């Protein structure tokens, strides 16, 4: 029984190994903006990128093809890009994290 509560505590405090960060841990923290490109000619609409996105930036259209629903939520984790079996999705930074990044550069 004690072991159970210990495990719950551990789960609440540490991220599971291999899990993508959701970005919801620090919602107030500014992050860079990203552009998400889906290459239709290579995409086979398997839905893996949608399933793996921890920020629900991607969704499926009425034909089951992936679409970008909310690029502003993207943290650039590249989980979608890494797991796409056909190299059909690409994430790139288009704007830095504003003031915070400028401070770091100084």
List residues near ligand SF4 by CB under 6 A.
Answer: 34, 36, 38, 43-49, 52-53, 55, 57-58, 66, 74-80, 84, 86, 88-89, 91
The nearer residue to ligand SF4, 1 or 70, going by C-beta atoms, is 70
Length of the chain: 106
Measure Cα distances from 15 to 18, 39, 68, 105 in Å: 8, 32, 26, 29
Backbone dihedral region for residue 56 (phi beyond 0: left; psi -120 to 50: alpha; all else: beta):
left
Which CB, 46 or 97, lies closer to ligand SF4?
Answer: 46
CB of 40 to ligand SF4, least distance (A): 9
């Amino acid at each position: 029984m004690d072991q159970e509560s210990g495990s719950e505590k551990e789960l609440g405090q540490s991220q599971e190994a291999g899990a993508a960060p959701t970005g919801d841990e620090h919602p107030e923290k500014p992050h860079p903006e990203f552009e998400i490109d889906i290459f239709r000619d290579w995409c086979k609409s398997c839905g893996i990128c949608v399933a793996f996105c921890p920020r629900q930036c991607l969704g499926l259209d009425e034909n089951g093809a992936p679409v970008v629903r909310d690029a502003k939520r993207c943290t650039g984790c590249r989980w979608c890009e890494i797991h796409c079996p056909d190299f059909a999705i690409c994430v790139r930074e288009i704007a830095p994290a504003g003031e915070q990044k400028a401070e770091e550069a100084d």
